[in-house]
A = this chain, B = another copy of it.
Amino acid sequence: MTTSQDPRDVAPARGLETLDDEQRRGTGDMDPERFRAAGHATVDEIADYLANVRGFPVFPPVEPGDLRGLFAPRAPTEPEPVAAILDDVVRLVVPNTTHWQHPGFMAYFATTASGPGILAEMLIAALGANAMLWRTSPVATELEEVVVDWLRDALGLPAAFSGLVTDTASTSSLIALGAAREAAGVHASARGIAGRVEVPRLRVYASEEAHSSIEKACMTLGLGREALVRVETDDSLAMDVTALAEAIAEDRAAGMRPIAIVATLGTTSSTAIDPVAEIAAIAGREGLWLHVDAAYGGAAAIVPERRGPFAGWERADSIVVNPHKWLFTPLDASLLLSRRMPMLRSAFSLVPEYLRTLDRAAPVHDFNEYTPTLGRRFRALKLWFVLRYFGLDGIRRRLDAHCAWASELAAAVEADPDFELLAPVPFSTVCLRARPRDLAAREEDPEVRADLDDLNARLLEAANATGEIFLSHTRLRDRFTIRVAIGSLHTTRDDVLRAWEILRTEAARLRG
């Protein structure tokens, strides 16, 4: 975050070095004109940051515990000028964050707080509306209905789906499994599931590659981690439906009660795609709730030509797609769609007197009745901004580009005798490892396998130490796996090629 060269941004900061009258003596908020000046200064800092983010190492050169001591141990008694706080942002905060906006951020799932998304967040904060009730912001509620429909249609899903925007996929999947628990007919929300002899063990099925949020939802909901049956996967790391059917049959025979199947379309480790049509058939036959976790991959369904792997997801009871992953929306924003909204409401609705809306003739739609939390930010506004700014075709073009660059990288990895592609690349994430040709031949040897893991762990560290890129890892088929997750709007084809160059160079260097 350097000082901008644009003269326009100098003036607004003027005067922020001193306390304003309200700070010194008042009982109110920052004066609107003071906010105007401070807001302009902050926008300039942000614009400078976005222009110069490439100059930072993606991951800052710090160790755990290095940063606490940079900050005062106690909150100040006296107010401080805005300029002092903004200076500390530049001096203490910005250099010490992991730069999710950096073009070289290809860890986890890359994401973008896009320009229009940031503008919307500014307005969301300033309006301060709580979207818990229609009454607490009619437009927040009705615009949420609108953008949910926009996204549902854009994803090619039928009008039978309705939904809402939550914070994260963890919450969306928790709500879905809460609804599944309710649909099982044991009256869990009302009566609980402890100490009731008529309630059997409840079971949820997901592939061994499903995201940890599914397991965490089972913990939170009182089903327990043990309730989650991890179904084995096939060669492409997709759920084995024969194994699924067998697991359900075995559990039923053992007196347990299957309640839900979670199909993942784009797993976190390798972006594998469970065969959702076959899974939907099993769910239908068994009377189980089908939840589709497409938190990352679902965005691709906005491109009609990429909808093939999604065929059958329209039979799901619920679907999660995260706009804050691959739809360029700032954290947090998760879309939860369901064909069975009344069941979500049964699981989570509670209306105390102080939340009743008394004075309206028409029925009121209060989104908090579908969620475990009451307060809700006006997240619909940022989806509306992002979809309008880019347009669906603009989003398609960007998703296509990311997929093309990932394919290009995957082809390069496959063509390199010293590297190995560890999973298919259906979207924009490439799983790879260094596998020098002299070691490849001897991989049956456990010691060589350990050496390969060690080499790749060191390769990941070395690549990240360049500061130019930031990658994360997983294990696939018990092999240490480096993930290159393309999905930021700031990443270009050249950045992807540079990442590949870094991996090759560092691998060669490590091998001496």
Contacts and interface: CB of A to CB of B under 8 A. Distances in A.
A27 B397 contact: yes
Given A67-B142, A350-B219, A42 B123 contact: yes
A362 B62 CA distance: 11
A489 B195 contact: no
26 contacts: A8-B12, A23-B389, A23-B390, A27-B397, A28-B490, A33-B47, A42-B119, A50-B126, A64-B134, A75-B387, A76-B392, A77-B392, A82-B116, A85-B384, A97-B139, A113-B128, A118-B126, A121-B121, A167-B373, A174-B220, A191-B225, A192-B227, A216-B348, A220-B372, A354-B474, A358-B461
Given A112-B29, A125-B117, A170 B35 contact: no
Given A71-B146, A220-B348, A115 B194 contact: no
Interface string A421-458: 00000000000000000000000000000000000010
A30 B79 contact: no
Contact of A365 (B64, B135, B195, B227): B64
A169 to B, nearest CB: 8
A282 interface: no
Contacts of A29: 50, 112, 114-115, 328, 489-490
Contacts of A121: 121-122, 124-125
A145 to B, nearest CB: 6
Nearest to A490: B29
A77 to B, nearest CB: 5
A226 B312 CA distance: 38
Nearest to A475: B353
A256 interface: yes
A306 interface: no
B489 A389 contact: no
Contacts of A213: 373-374
A122 B125 contact: yes
Given A47-B36, A75-B154, A123-B46, A128 B142 contact: no
Given A68-B146, A167-B373, A216-B372, 14 more contacts: A9-B36, A36-B43, A66-B142, A74-B150, A74-B153, A75-B153, A108-B136, A121-B121, A188-B222, A191-B226, A192-B201, A195-B199, A216-B350, A358-B457
B388 A85 contact: yes
Nearest to A351: B212
Interface stretch (A87-95, A409-417, A504-512): A87-95
A190 to B, nearest CB: 5
A161 interface: no
Nearest to A9: B36
A301 B40 CA distance: 35
A197 B196 CA distance: 8
Contacts of A220: 174, 178, 220-221, 348, 372
Contact of A212 (B77, B93, B374): B374
B118 A122 contact: yes
A104 B12 CA distance: 30
A303 interface: no
Given A68-B145, A193-B222, A139 B93 contact: yes
Contacts of A67: 138-139, 142-143
Given A115-B29, A122-B43, A126-B101, A59 B135 contact: yes
Contact of A374 (B9, B130, B168, B362): B168
A64 B363 contact: yes
Contact of A389 (B30, B123, B324, B490): B30
A394 interface: yes
A269 B226 CA distance: 40
B219 A189 contact: yes
Contact of A224 (B107, B113, B189, B215): B189
A47 B122 CA distance: 11
Interface in A162-215: 167-171, 174, 178, 181, 186-197, 199-202, 211-213, 215
A138 B98 contact: yes
Nearest to A472: B354
A8 B8 CA distance: 9
A233 interface: no
Nearest to A215: B350
A80 B49 contact: no
A189 B31 CA distance: 49
Contacts of A257: 195
B473 A46 contact: no
B42 A122 contact: yes
